[in-house]
Each structure stands twice: as C-alpha cells, then as structure tokens.
Structure 1
Amino acid sequence: MTIQRTSAEENQSANDSKASKRSIPNSKSGRWLWFWVGMSGIAMVSATAGALLAVSLTSTPLQQAQLSPQEEAVFDGDRISGSGLRFSQLTRPVNILLMGMSVLPPDIENPPADAKNLGYLPQVNSFDGLADVMLLIKFDPETKKMVMLSIPRDTRTEIEGHGVKKINHANLEGGPALTAKTVSNLLNGVAIDRYVRINVLGVAKLIDALGGVTVYVPKDMKYQDDSQHLYINLKAGKQHLNGDQALQLLRYRHDELGDIGRIQRQQMVLRALMDQSLNPATVAQMPKVLDVVKEYIDTNLTVEELVALVGFGVRTNRSNMQMLMVPGRFSEKNEFDASYWLPNKNAIAKLMTKHYGVESAQAQEENNVEPGNLRIAIQDSTGGDRSSLRPLIKSLEKAGYRNVYVAKAWGEPLDTTHIVAQQGDGNSAELVRQLLGFGEVRVESTGNLGSDISIQVGKDWVQQKEILEKSTQP
C-alpha cells in the first residue's frame, strides 16, 4: 500500500501531529498487560502466551497519545485477527512499526519539574523525541515467518513538510503517523498496520524484571557523556548483564561502524532474549514485568490484535525469525553537512519484494544468484591464523565463489559456524551451508557489512577441516 494524502490533508495532518504530542494517561486496570507483547516485540512472545491468553479481552486501543482521524488513517485499519474462538489467530500478514524513543527535556514543550536545574539533560518518560531505534516487523501467517527490518536512525530521507533529514527526526516532527509515512515512502510504499513506541527508560527496567540477559560483549566499551549522564563501561566477553548494563550495550555507538554496529548488537541481544525467554520461569515473572513496563509504552494495537500476534509468535520456529537492515552505505567525509546512512534504492526494492511482498519495477530479483557474483566474507572465531582458513577458501573457490575474502575476526567463540545472510539472501546462504556440510544459516545483519554472505567460523570447522583438506587436494 502506498500512503498518499491530498495537500489539504497534509496541512491538517501537520497541525494535528503537533497536538498528538500531548500524551494522555491510560489508567484502566488490566489493559496495560498487553503492552508487554508490543514492547518485547519478538523476544518474549513464546514465554508469555499462556498468561496473555488467560486475560479478559477489551477492544479499546492501548494508547498514551491521541491521534487525529487523519493520523489514524495513515495506518491500515483493516482487521488482522480472527473472531470468536479464532481471536488468537492472525488472518493476514501484518507490519508493525516498533520505535525506541530517546527523549530529552528540550524535545518536549513542558518538561517535568524534576528534569529542570540538574546541570545535565536527563532522559524523560515521553514519546515525543527522537526515534533512535526503528524496526519494521512483519508477522506472516502465510509463510510462518517473522521478519525484522532495522532502519538506521541516521538514514537520510525526505520527511514530508520538513525536508531531507535523518529519519529519526520524523517522530520529533510529527509523531508515529509522520514516522510511518516516512518509513513507508523510504521502503517503496510498504503498508504499515500498527505502531509501538517504547521509551528508553523502560528497557533497563524490563531486562531487570526478567532477571537480566546473558550475552557476549564483543569488545571493551567505554564512553562518557556528562551532558546526559551517559556512562558506558563494559568489558569484552560472555557475561550476564543487568538492565543498566544491557542498555549500555544497546546504546553504545562510538566505534568505526557507529549506529550500524549498534544495530548489530541490538540484533545479538534480541537473539539472546529469544533464547532465554523459552523458560517457564519467565511466565512466573509476568506480573512484575508488566507492572514495571506499563507506563513506558504507547501503541495503537488492540488487545485482540496483541493476542493474535502472541499466538502466531508461539507457533513460529526461531529459525524463521529473520533480522535484516536497510541496505546502504555511510556518507563520506564532507559529502554532506552531517554523517548519514545513505539508502540503496535498488537494494531496498529487491529486499522489500522478497521479504515484504512489495511489487516494484526496480526489483528484478534472481531466484538463484550466481556464486561468482556473491561477496563471501570469512570471520574466524576459533583464534587460529589465516593459514588455517585456506582449505575453506579453496573449497569455496572450487565451487565457483570467486569473491572470497577474510574479514575482521568474529569476537565471540562459536561452537557452530554461522552462515549469515547479511543482505537477506537466505537461499544463497543455504547453498553455501550445503556445500560446506556444516554450520547453520542465520538471516540477520550481524556479519561483515560489505558482504552478501558472512561465514563466522566456529569449532565445527575444526572438525571438518581435515575432510575439506582432502577434498581440495589435486
């Protein structure tokens, strides 16, 4: 669906979007229980399903912000869930725009009194600031897949009525409706059915309520910003992080990859949360979790719709949860007045056709990409030297993969090799896995940025090395 409005509607929408910034509380008991699903998105859906389905239903949208009729019309309001006893089933593919809000006092008209005269700019519990995290999540009952597309906050794009800016400004200028329109325009007119906004203050509280998260910190991370009281100090290695530490990992962006590296770490944390949420103990924590996060979330999803999303998530195999990123490149020094992520329109067209069903004349998708056209990056996690990778490289070259290179080592020691479809081409990644005879395919964006396929070599490679060496001998 391409989102279009008349000029009169656009003017009215721009005026109404200012009004939408005035948040209203929602105090009806029981409703906020359902914020849990929208907030956690993918990570906790399996563990909470039973508890959620046991709660009485209400069809009232769970919103903390009011939208004008013009703003509501931006979202596809058609029914997404069944009726009667089939209320917990999705009836069609659904696209949810998830936004993580980082809000400072200057972002809002009336900052709370306790945010004044502190000598620094604190985060405030509002939804009117910059959308520093954006995910377009597709729940597809036809393919039984969930696709998560990360949209870099620095993406350079047109924001209607406000010119060309970084995409995270769309929420600041016009709330969730303008953000949805901007995202849709960027992504070839993809339909956006609903939105969820979560304030950054709620993330640490959520993870604490879940007992923390075990994840591999890829390197030492140290950063200090006194103006915002932001202090990051993490050591490399696998460790159990509390909420504040996990938030440090999620917010860190001061390395060579900037916001793109942060997106990769966000995807790693999502994977870890999905793994750890498949635990009966998580369900027992639901009252505490829900009580903690209720005030930090804003969504136009109804309870029935959330139940349907949960029901679908419970039945979705984690191997069918795919994580992508808007393809593009970093702007070069002095290319613009600020640093941007410059989206690749042709690559976006192909990605949206393949994973979101958006038809486009630009997308001339090939079912099977020729091996010689693929960029294969090898990232070792075993600690060996480059010579130990020669049999692997020879095996790939023998099969026609001519563009193979060794990239920066993967920091986390892996038992099983990850064959990462960096650009979303899971079919090509699966062909590589079949050729090698080991490893697991992951459709996500945690690999080498310049690759089509990244092979993150694990310990299973050591076991296969001798076999490969014999097979590549003349």
Structure 2
Amino acid sequence: MEKNMKRSKEKKSKKKIWLWIVGSLLAIFLIFIGTAYFTIQKTMNKINTPLIQTTDAAQPEEKTVIKKEPFSVLMLGVDERKDDSGRSDTMIVITVNPEKQTMKMLSIPRDTRTEIVGHDTVDKINHAYAFGGVPMAVDTVENFLNIPIDYYVFINMEGFLQIIDTLGGVTINNDMDLTYDEYHYPEGEITLNGNEALIFSRIRYEDPRGDFGRQIRQRQIIEAVMKKASTPSTLLKATDMLNVLGDNVRMNFSVKDLIQLQSIYKKMDKDIEQISFEQGEGQRINRIWYYIPNEEELQKIQTDLNNHLKSK
C-alpha cells in the first residue's frame, strides 16, 4: 500500500516537472514570438520608405507583390560617408516573373552616360542618386531601360555587409585569382566574411575586366546573401540581422510583400539569368571617362526586360 502511494506521488511529481518544463518552453516561445514580432515591426517601420518619384504629377499607386504578377526591383548599393550622400556604385535591376518562375538580373555600369531625369543633364548614371536620391535614380533607370521600376532597395554597402558576419560568412565560386593589398582571393570556391566580401566587391583595377568584373562579383555576393538569408537556420539570427538591416537598408516593400517574396524566391533561386552590357565602349568627353552603351544592345536588353515583365 505504502509502495503504491509512493509510486503515485512520484508519478504526480514527474507530471508536475514535465508540465513545468512544457509550460516554461511555451512561455519562452511566446516571448520569442512576441519579441520577434515587435522587432520586425520596429525594423520595418524604419526600413519601409514609400517611393515619391520626381517626374509625374500624379503618383502611381503603391504596388503590392502578387504571386503571379511580374514586377521589377532596382537595387542601389551606395557607399555613404560622413558629409557625403555618396554615389550608387552598384545599380542592379531585377525583373521577376512568378508565373514563368524566372528571374533576370542586370548590372548597369556605374559610368554609363545617360540623361539624368529631373536634373536636365547628361551624366554618369550613378550621379542620379547623388543629385536627387532614390527617386531620381529610379526615374533615370526607368528612362534608360524603358521599363517601370516597381520597387527599390537601397543598401549602405559597408553596413549591409555586416549581415555576412551575422550569417557566418557566405560561399561563392570565384572565377578569377585576384589579389588586393593583403587580400588574396584564389580561383574556385571561397568563403568570405563581411570585410573580405566588401573588398572583394570593390576590386576594379586589379581585374582586367574592370567594372564588368566587379559587377559579376557584386551579383555573386548579393545572390549568396539572399540564398543564405532564406534558409531556416537564419531564424536564430533574425534579431541581429534585423538590427543591421534597420540601420543600413531602405525599401518600399511591405511585410506582406516580403513574405510573398520569400515564397517566390524559393521557387526560382537556382534559375537567375544574368544579363550584362558587353558591347559598349569607354570614351572621354570633356576629360571625363564614360561608358557609352551600344544602342543595338541597349534596345535588345530593353525588349528582353519588357517581355519578361509581361504575363503569359
């Protein structure tokens, strides 16, 4: 009898312990979810900046990512310094067609000579941001490529690359042996931390391809970050990532858009078509060096992107 009572007490005691453990874990989980939600909302309030363009009197309605509707994104990578708004040394246009499950990524050479919309000048395309911020950069790219830009993502490159350290580094396939000061990047698969990735993305004169080689490396880094950031393991680093993003990124995507984007990107992250300008030439005008696009190639790229932004 006493033994039965003892066993019953032990069972009740174990049950209480398990209930306490489960309850504690549930409480921790709820606190984590609540904190994460608060952090996400706080970060998105800081990041989300609607685009007010500089040209049209009647502004278009803000677009919402729809699973089957094609859309375009302009990524601006800017090296901002104290007392200097910086120039958009990285300009990448991404067009996404969810229905076809395809994505195209175009790098625009920073020295491309074109009309700066809203400034009444012809200058290097990366000066548009310096003259009029994101709105003027978007207007100028729209005019240059003859396509609508639905979204933008502004990135302060130095700060943004802190995310790479938060992610534990990124791995890319380097297509050329490169050395810059004490930094050496062998050909083949390499893993980079934030500082190594920043130097890697800036190398220009050490690469015989010049700015085109740099564009390739910048796209590789962006793709690697996107891919690693979309893995489940990054959830444990979400708070740190959000803090870095809040300080260094601006965009006109909403939380709902980003959730849609994640599901869309997972379906096509291995099918990103890289497009680049290859037939233009360098030219000095009034002692300033410009990249002059080949008109036929430019028109082909414009047509390609426009077609990609059409539904079936």
Q: TM-score, normalised by structure 2?
A: 0.75
**Cα separation, partners in 2 of 1:129 and 1:335, compared to 1, 3 Å:** closer
Superposed displacement of residue 339, structure 1: 2.2
Match of 1:80 in 2: 64
Asked if the contact 2:53–2:138 (Cα under 8 Å) also holds between the matched residues in 1, the reply is no
**Greater CA radius of gyration, 1 or 2?**
2
- The one of 164, 168, 175 aligned to 1:207: 164
Match of 2:70 in 1: 93
Match of 2:98 in 1: 141
Distance 2:88 2:186 in 1: 28
Superposed displacement of residue 183, structure 1: 0.5
Q: How does 1:44-443 map to 2 (within 5 A)?
A: 62-63=47-48, 76-81=60-65, 89-107=66-84, 128-160=85-117, 161-187=119-145, 189-217=146-174, 218-223=176-181, 233-237=183-187, 238-255=189-206, 256-273=208-225, 276=228, 279-314=231-266, 316-332=267-283, 334=284, 337-357=287-307
**Cα separation, partners in 2 of 1:75 and 1:139, compared to 1, 3 Å:** farther
Q: Give 1 or 2: higher helix fraction.
A: 2
Superposed displacement of residue 352, structure 1: 2.4
**Cα separation, partners in 2 of 1:358 and 1:293, compared to 1, 3 Å:** closer
The residue identity in structure 1 corresponding to 2:205 is: H
Superposed displacement of residue 329, structure 1: 2.0
Superposed displacement of residue 76, structure 1: 4.5
The residue identity in structure 2 corresponding to 1:263 is: Q
Match of 2:31 in 1: none
Distance 1:319 1:244 in 2: 26
Distance 1:253 1:74 in 2: 41
**Number of aligned residue pairs:** 268
Greater RCO (Cα-Cα under 8 Å, separation 6 or more): 2
Superposed displacement of residue 145, structure 1: 1.1
Distance 1:170 1:204 in 2: 23
Measured against aligned partners, the alpha-carbon deviations of 1:131-165 in whole angstroms (never above 9, x if no partner) come to: 11111111212211121111111111111324111
The residue identity in structure 1 corresponding to 2:268 is: N
User: What is the aligned-residue RMSD (CA, Å)?
Assistant: 2.9
**Cα separation, partners in 2 of 1:138 and 1:61, compared to 1, 3 Å:** farther
Distance 1:283 1:182 in 2: 37
Distance 1:346 1:92 in 2: 29
Partner of 2:94, secondary structure, is strand
Asked if the contact 1:134–1:150 (Cα under 8 Å) also holds between the matched residues in 2, the reply is yes
Distance 2:184 2:195 in 1: 11
Asked if the contact 1:139–1:309 (Cα under 8 Å) also holds between the matched residues in 2, the reply is no
Distance 2:115 2:308 in 1: 20
Deviates more, 1:139-148 or 1:212-221: 212-221
Superposed displacement of residue 249, structure 1: 0.3
Structure 1, unaligned runs of 5 or more: 1-27, 35-59, 82-88, 108-127, 224-231, 360-474
Superposed displacement of residue 172, structure 1: 0.7
Asked if the contact 1:76–1:193 (Cα under 8 Å) also holds between the matched residues in 2, the reply is no
Work out the percentage of aligned pairs sharing the same amino acid: 29
Measured against aligned partners, the alpha-carbon deviations of 1:266-309 in whole angstroms (never above 9, x if no partner) come to: 23334544565564323322222222221111112222222222
Partner of 2:105, secondary structure, is strand
Distance 2:226 2:308 in 1: 28
Partner of 1:257, secondary structure, is coil
Distance 1:78 1:104 in 2: 30
Match of 1:45 in 2: none
